[in-house]
């Protein structure tokens, strides 16, 4: 009897919302601490607007926590604190850079703008949690979301609202607001790819010809991957956005590989990528620039000023950094967006930057764990896609600024200045939390009616 | 602000940052297995549903031909084995209560447990919100369900059958 009881003791996921709240409090302490130490390091005083900024940020984090507590009570307890911490550090760093930057395009109170965007981001996570009550419902919107993604990608090319900044045509401007629709397209594409592959994966996994131990796919199944490839090339050609192009194609290839479990697809994907990259290299001057700046930036320090400055910044920071507010990260152009990683590396040092990268790794790990535990294939693919999106972005950005790979412009999730990226990433975390909730919540007990010998008798007398 | 204070702040910040990372990792570790609970103790509501006849229900007797309509409801196993009630047009109430047509002395049976009724052609069994449920064969009865020929109705430890 005892044996049987022990065998029946099962592990049930806990809600752990209290743990989440205490982690959020620690994350807020780190974020606000960063903000204060920027002020102390830069001027020697605590920033005047500390109560307003810290209060607003803490309130937003608390709202996000409440949304999770009531709308997805079984969701992963670590994801939200990790995101809050990244957002908080990003906020402090942007405030710090704003003290030095005299870029008229940025205007005043960049940090305050980022708080406003954080507010919109929290609205997005609440909206995602409130609207998407069951992620499986999204499957019926597969092609709708695919079309929406395509539309969002085309939007910046339209004359009138499309806007070209720094050579990349990825912005739309409506009145005073400018937005990067590609960021939102990311989310739609993840759902679209997942919904598409979950239906088609059996057909795509059919063995084609076998060549040195690898199942190569059939020629007629190449359609989807070619379409994704052309889409990415289109982004590259028409928007001149290397990073997004890489992200979209990488995302599709990873999901295709995960869905079909065929190495052949990954190989085809890599070959297509190499072909596309070579084509881009031959065709576009700015791609050649990026590659040359990757291989030997010191050959022309004027042309590759940004990447050289980034390197010097990281070197200046050393192991433990110059301290917040005490470096010169703004010598690097775009130190608040594309190069925020080197800014952080300069002021927090290798030790701080590694902590941030570990935090990203934990986010990706949590996402993949959701995918592992998820019971339906669609949810698995979405969770994988979201985790891979974060991973690819961080890899492309950090690899780019540290010269592991050629520099491509992508935003660093939650850290970079920029509303579209922040809002889209918050929404992505919302979707991840929704799937996580569905995965971890106790299942309705399926009574094994036919397993007669497993019946347990409780003695009442 | 002295140099020493700034250095302390700088190092302190890195320490707190890493402490956050470590505490997140420790939450992940403790989250690995979840809470271990004994379902029998932890969830009385669900545990109460568990008790069912200890023995496999006796296989229904060989069918006696579907041509003939059943005439009585017989208790084939359990404390009240052998008891029966004639099937008329009126529904038959099964339970522990005194108003039941088949009164069962079974601890696992509710006072008003189930009802067997006919629509003129077929006999149906319906659960009356009992604690432990009514089973037709291996299926739990959630709505009025037609009783197939030779299928046993299980209520608590008791098994009933329609007989010709």
pLDDT at residue A12, rounded to an integer: 62
ipTM above 0.90, yes or no: no
Tens-place pLDDT, residues A11-26: 566 778 888 999 999 9
Residues on chain B touching A349 (C-beta within 8 angstroms): 14
Give the per-residue pLDDT at A378: 92
- B37: its two tokens: 């609970």
CB B52 within 8 A of CB B135: yes
Q: Which residue segment(s) compose the domain that A157 sits in?
A: 139-283
* Range with the poorest average pLDDT among A141-145, A148-152, B6-10, B117-121: B117-121
Inform me whether the pLDDT recorded for A79 exceeds 80. yes
Say which of B20, B54, B107 has its CB closest to residue A30. B20
Distance (Å, whole) CA A310 – CA A296: 14
The whole-number pLDDT of residue A101 equals 75
* pLDDT exceeds 70 at position A263: yes
Q: Where is pLDDT greater, at A67 or A262?
A: A67
Q: Which carries the bigger pLDDT value, residue A206 or residue A360?
A: A360
> B3-31 and A17-42 are packed helices; what angle lies between their axes, rounded to 10 degrees?
160
Any bridge partners for residue B115, and if so which? B93, B126
pLDDT at B50: 45
Residue A107 in this model has a pLDDT that exceeds 80: no
In a domain, A108, yes or no: no
Separation in Å, CA of A44 to nearest CA in chain B: 6
- Is residue A239 one of the residues assigned to a domain? yes
A78: pLDDT confidence band, cut at 50, 70 and 90?
Answer: very high
Does residue A124 form part of some domain?
no
Distances (CA, A) of A183 to A337, A411, A423: 14, 9, 9
Task: Give the tens place of pLDDT for each residue, B120-159.
Answer: 778 888 888 888 888 888 888 888 888 877 788 888 888 8
> In B70-115, which residue ranges form alpha helices assigned H by DSSP?
none
Nearest residue to A353 (alpha-carbon basis) of A407, A317, A306: A317
Q: Give the residue-averaged pLDDT of A127-133.
A: 93
> Which residues of chain B fall below pLDDT 70?
1, 34-68
- In a domain, residue A77? The reply is no
Least CB–CB distance from A37: residue in B13, B19, B34: B13
Residues in A closer than 8 angstroms to B106, CB to CB, are: none
Q: In this complex, do B34 and A326 lie within 8 Å of one another by their Cβ atoms? A: no
Q: Is the pLDDT of residue A160 over 80?
A: no
Whether residue A448 has pLDDT greater than 80: no
Check B36 against A11: CB less than 8 A apart. Answer: yes
- Structural domain includes residue A375: no
In B, which residues are within 8 Å of A456 by CB distance?
40, 50-51
Q: Choose the closest CB to B20 out of A26, A77, A458.
A: A26
Tell me whether residue A63 is in a domain. Answer: no
Q: Which residues of A touch B21 (CB under 8 A)?
A: 355, 358-359, 362
Residues 6 or more apart in contact with residue A249 via CB below 8 angstroms: A228, A229, A231, A232, A269, A272, A273, A276
pLDDT given for residue B52 in this prediction: 46
pLDDT above 80 (res A287): yes
Q: Greater confidence, A108 or A32?
A: A32
A151: in domain: yes
- The mean-pLDDT minimum among A59-73, A145-159, A303-317 falls in A145-159
Which residue has tokens 């088949």?
B102
Can you give the pLDDT at residue B112? Answer: 84
pTM of the model: 0.75
> Looking at the predicted structure, is the pLDDT value of residue A2 above 90?
no
Interface test with A, best of B9, B132, B141, B142 (most A CBs within 10 A): B9
Structure tokens at A260: 């079909």
Residue A58 DSSP code: H
Averaged over A207-218, what is the pLDDT? 65
Helix, strand or coil, per DSSP, at residue A238: helix
Give the pLDDT band (50/70/90) at residue A285. confident
Q: Please say whether the beta carbons of B64 and B164 come within 8 A.
A: yes
Task: Tell me, yes or no, whether A208 lies in a domain.
Answer: yes
**Mean per-residue pLDDT, A291-315:** 88
> How does the average pLDDT of chain A come out, rounded?
84
Residue A445 confidence (pLDDT) above 60: no
pLDDT in tens, A368-426: 999 998 888 899 999 999 999 999 999 999 999 999 998 887 889 999 888 889 999 99
Q: Is the pLDDT of residue A43 over 80?
A: yes
Average pLDDT over residues A202-208: 71
Is the confidence at residue A125, as pLDDT, over 60?
A: yes
Burial class (CB in 10 A: 0-12, 13-18, 19+), A366: buried
Number of domains in chain A: 1
Q: Residue A163 pLDDT more than 80?
A: no
Residue A47 pLDDT exceeds 60: yes
Answer whether A16 sits within 8 Å of B31, measured CB to CB: yes
Q: Which runs of E-coded beta strand occur in A281-333?
A: none
* Angle in degrees, CA A344, A247, A222, rounded to 5: 165
**Confidence check: pLDDT of A338 > 90:** no
Place of tokens 């200890």: B54
pLDDT at A274 over 80: yes
Query: CB under 8 Å to A272, separation ≥6 — which residues?
Result: A225, A226, A229, A249
């Amino acid at each position: 009897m005892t044996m049987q009881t022990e065998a029946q003791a099962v592990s049930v996921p806990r809600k752990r919302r209290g743990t989440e709240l205490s982690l959020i409090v620690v994350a807020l302490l780190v974020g606000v601490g960063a903000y204060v130490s920027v002020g102390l390091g830069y001027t020697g005083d605590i920033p005047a607007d500390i109560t307003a900024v810290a209060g607003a940020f803490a309130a937003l984090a608390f709202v996000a926590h409440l949304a999770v507590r009531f709308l997805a009570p079984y969701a992963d307890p670590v994801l939200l604190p990790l995101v809050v911490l990244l957002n908080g550090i990003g906020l402090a760093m942007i405030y710090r850079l704003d003290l030095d930057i005299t870029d008229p395009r940025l205007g005043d109170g960049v940090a305050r703008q980022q708080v406003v965007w954080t507010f919109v981001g929290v609205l997005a996570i609440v909206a995602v949690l409130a609207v998407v009550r069951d992620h499986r419902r999204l499957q019926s919107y597969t092609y709708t979301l695919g079309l929406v993604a395509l539309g969002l990608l085309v939007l910046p090319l339209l004359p009138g609202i499309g806007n070209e900044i720094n050579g990349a045509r990825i912005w739309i401007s409506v009145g005073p607001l400018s937005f990067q629709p590609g960021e939102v397209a990311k989310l739609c594409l993840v759902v679209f790819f997942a919904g598409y592959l979950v239906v088609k994966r059996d057909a795509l996994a059919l063995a084609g010809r076998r060549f040195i131990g690898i199942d190569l796919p059939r020629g007629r199944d190449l359609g989807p991957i070619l379409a994704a490839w052309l889409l990415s090339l289109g982004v590259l050609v028409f928007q001149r956005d290397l990073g997004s192009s890489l992200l979209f194609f990488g995302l599709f290839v990873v999901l295709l590989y995960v869905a079909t479990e065929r190495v052949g697809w990954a190989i085809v994907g890599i070959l297509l990528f190499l072909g596309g990259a070579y084509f881009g290299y031959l065709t576009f001057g700015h791609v050649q620039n990026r590659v040359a700046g990757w291989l030997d930036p010191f050959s022309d320090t004027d042309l590759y000023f940004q990447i050289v400055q980034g390197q010097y910044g990281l070197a200046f920071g050393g192991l433990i950094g110059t301290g917040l507010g005490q470096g010169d990260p703004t010598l690097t152009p775009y130190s608040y967006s594309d190069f925020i990683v080197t800014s952080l590396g300069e002021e927090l040092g290798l030790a701080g930057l590694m902590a941030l990268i570990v935090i990203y790794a934990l986010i990706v790990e949590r996402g993949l764990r959701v995918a592992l535990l998820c019971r339906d294939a669609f949810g698995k693919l979405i969770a994988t896609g979201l985790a891979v999106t974060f991973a690819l972005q961080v890899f492309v950005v950090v690899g780019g600024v540290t010269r592991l790979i050629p520099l491509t412009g992508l935003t660093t999730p939650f850290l970079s200045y920029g509303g579209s990226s922040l809002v889209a990433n918050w929404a992505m975390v919302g979707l991840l939390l929704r799937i996580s909730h569905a995965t971890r919540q106790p299942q309705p007990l399926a009574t094994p009616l036919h397993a007669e010998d497993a019946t347990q008798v409780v003695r009442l007398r | 602000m002295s140099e020493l204070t700034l250095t302390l702040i700088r190092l302190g910040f890195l320490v707190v940052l890493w402490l956050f990372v470590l505490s997140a990792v420790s939450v992940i570790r403790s989250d690995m297995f979840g809470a271990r609970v004994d379902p029998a103790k932890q969830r009385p509501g669900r545990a109460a549903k568990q008790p069912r006849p200890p023995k496999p229900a006796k296989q229904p007797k060989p069918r006696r031909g579907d041509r003939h309509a059943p005439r009585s409801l017989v208790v084939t196993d359990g404390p009240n084995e052998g008891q029966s009630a004639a099937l008329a047009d009126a529904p038959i109430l099964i339970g522990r209560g005194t108003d039941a047509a088949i009164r069962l002395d079974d601890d696992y049976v509710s006072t008003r447990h189930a009802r067997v009724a006919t629509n003129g052609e077929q006999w149906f069994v319906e659960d009356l919100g009992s604690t432990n449920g009514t089973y037709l064969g291996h299926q739990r009865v959630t709505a009025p369900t037609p009783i197939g020929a030779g299928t046993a109705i299980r209520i608590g430890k008791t098994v009933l059958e329609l007989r010709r």
